[in-house]
Amino acid sequence: MKYTTQMDAAKKGIVTDEMKIVAKKENMAEKDLLELIAEGKVVIPANKNHKSLNPEGVGEGLKTKINVNLGISQDCCNIEKELEKVKLAIEMKTDAIMDLSNYGKTELLRKDVIGMSTAMIGTVPMYDAIGFNNKQLKDLTVDDFFRVVEKHGQDGVDFVTIHAGLNRETARVIKENPRLTSIVSRGGSLLFAWMELNKEENPFYEHYDRLLDICEKYDITISLGDACRPGCIEDATDAVQIKELITLGELTKRAWKRNVQVMIEGPGHMALNEIKANMLLEKKLCHGAPFYVLGPLVTDVAPGYDHITAAIGGAIAASSGADFLCYVTPAEHLRLPSIEDMKEGIIAFRIAAHAGDIAKGIKGARNWDNAMSKARADLDWEAMFSLAIDSEKARKYRAESSPEHQDTCTMCGKMCSARTMKKILNNEELNI
């Protein structure tokens, strides 16, 4: 039996090769995964043209996934450096990579990234529209917008961020409800400007069926972008954000009728006490579609440390139902991230995702922690290093401060509680 997308296959009861791989990774029965995909609660972003992909599932009952952003800009256009980041991201077990290149002809980098990446690849076609069409923003036509999406599909992009919920009605709400930071989404601001300059409706909203045609053709997952995500904690959960979210819920149902997979993107910046409610709102208003959040950053005053402020929010979001976390680096709000910035962001968000999985009871999530705890109780340093989320840093710290007795560390020495209990319970001599 033929099928067009992973969702189409699931509705027809067909277990695809990608579903078999994901079910095995997630310790989930194939029939259970099939049902979740058919309902739209799980997606497997897997473009038919991405041949090197090792597929992952995103959504209800699955491990929380993390995404890494990279790409060239006008000020930093070193393609080789960005490809180094791709290699590092894959080595560090990230689940997705978004190429957010927004300068010049981005096709060469995108094709290289897709060709070498086992992780799913996402893009924001709006970033590429000006360079691809070689036009000023105001002069772009409806055909220009969709030509870029088609090209990204041909190249093998697995999911695309499309800000289709920013329609003229949402724009009215923005104007009538002034924000502290207005629109902070790059793609959203460009679309808003195009709409204002041309006095036209958002092409991705007005011609949404045309977008669905392209996504169905290549099995691209639509990541419905939150153009109106809050850019500071003051703007969180306001009328603008919720207005767009309601529209995204409507667009989700339209996509599902066409068997197009959907994720919903969310905040942004948000105080701790608002995160849980926002996760519930998204799941309710968008019918259980997987939720993809940036952070959220829980305070606005820590430039240089925003990987920490965002990971705090990310852990709470994941524990409250978010399915996919977009990492934030220490360089957020300051510059294009370096490789070292990227590494710190990945580690912070792998911690956040895992902490969220423990809290929401993902099958097997605690096994890793229990293995580490046993290694600590046994004073088995090699086992601790092998289990550490960053083995290199753990080894480095121990090597930099070597204890007199190798079964201890330099914090407690022979007064180490693990050493004491191990010796006492084993009826060994205790010499402190």
Binding positions for Zn(2+) are 269, 333
Q: Which helix (H) or strand (E) holds 265?
A: strand 262-266
Q: How far apart are CA 91 and CA 36, in angstroms?
A: 29
Q: Letter for the amino acid at 432?
A: I
DSSP state letters, 85-150:
HHHHHHHTT-SEEEE---SS--HHHHHHHHHH-SSEEEE-HHHHHHHHHT--GGG--HHHHHHHHH
Q: Is 96 exposed, middle or buried (0-12, 13-18, 19+ CB in 10 A)?
A: buried
- Residue 206 CB-density burial (10 A; 0-12 exposed, 13-18 middle, 19+ buried): middle
Binding-site residues for substrate, please? 69, 98, 127, 163, 185-187, 226-229, 265, 292
- Binding site for [4Fe-4S] cluster, residues? 409, 412, 416
Please give the Cα distance from 422 to 379 (Å, whole number): 9
Is residue 123 within 8 A of residue 71, CB to CB? The reply is no
Specify whether the CB–CB gap between 129 and 98 falls below 8 A.
no
Distances (CA, A) of 382 to 79, 142, 388: 37, 59, 10
What is the SS3 string spanning 203-238? HHHHCHHHHHHHHHHHCCEEEECCCCCCCCHHHCCC
Please state, in angstroms and rounded to a whole number, the distance separating the CA atoms of residues 186 and 166.
Answer: 13
Name beta bridge partners: 99: 70, 123
How many CB atoms are located within 10 Å of the residue 411 CB? 9
Annotated binding site: 69, 98, 127, 163, 185-187, 226-229, 265, 269, 292, 333, 409, 412, 416
Q: Which residue bears the tokens 């058919």?
A: 38
Compute the C-alpha angle 255/247/320, nearest 5°: 90
Both structure tokens of 258: 């066409």
Rounded distance between C-alpha atoms, residue 345 and residue 392, angstroms = 16
Peptide bond into 296 cis (omega under 30): yes
Long-range contacts of 339-345 (CB under 8 A, 24+ apart): 339/81, 339/84, 339/85, 339/88, 341/307, 342/68, 342/70, 342/85, 342/88, 342/89, 343/88, 343/92, 344/307, 345/68, 345/307
Please name the helix (run of DSSP H) or strand (run of DSSP E) that holds residue 423, with its range, or none: helix 417-425
